[in-house]
Amino acid sequence: MSLKQNFISYVENNFKTNPMPEDLIEYWEKFKGTSGSGDKPLFTENGKKILTFLQNHTDTKTWKAKDIAEELFISSRTVSGSIRKLVTDGYVEKVGQDPTIYCITEKGINIIIND
């Protein structure tokens, strides 16, 4: 069991004798990395922003992280870090290097992003 899992188990055991206030339950679920169903969220907040942006701008086929960052008013480093997971999960494809160029995949176009 990981240190995080041990911590979660410890805290949840304490909730049995001292129930968590209702307004903290949503925060606790997010901390644990669950969305009520026991699964981790599909996208990070920045991942949602990037993917939604790409879905709404399919007229432009390829993007540099810098250009996405400028459009979303976030740092290009943040975009690069967040887009890496989108590439791994198959929603975005890396199509060029020097500079690195990205494009949204069919999977990325067709996914419905829940808020």
pTM: 0.65
Q: Is 104 helix (H, G, I), strand (E, B) or coil?
A: strand
Is residue 74 included in any domain, yes or no?
yes
CA distance 76 to 115: 23
CA distance 22 to 16: 14
Q: How many structural domains are present in the chain?
A: 2
CA distance 77 to 37: 31
More confident residue, 12 or 85: 85
Specify whether 16 is located in the same domain as 65.
no
Q: Which residues contact 101 (CB under 8 A, 6 or more apart)?
A: 62, 63, 64, 94, 95
Is residue 38 included in any domain, yes or no?
no
Is residue 37 included in any domain, yes or no?
no
Please report, for residues 21, 59, 63, 89, 101, the alpha-carbon distance to residue 84 in angstroms, rounded to integers and kept in the order given. Answer: 36, 22, 14, 9, 12
Specify whether 54 is located in the same domain as 20.
no
Specify whether 62 is located in the same domain as 18.
no
pLDDT(38) > 70: no
Specify whether 96 is located in the same domain as 51.
yes
pLDDT(12) > 60: yes
Which residue range is the domain that position 60 belongs to? 45-110
Is residue 83 included in any domain, yes or no?
yes
Specify whether 64 is located in the same domain as 27.
no
pLDDT band at 35 (very low <50, low <70, confident <90, very high): very low
Instruction: Give the phi and the psi of residue 36 in degrees, each rounded to 5.
Output: 90, -30
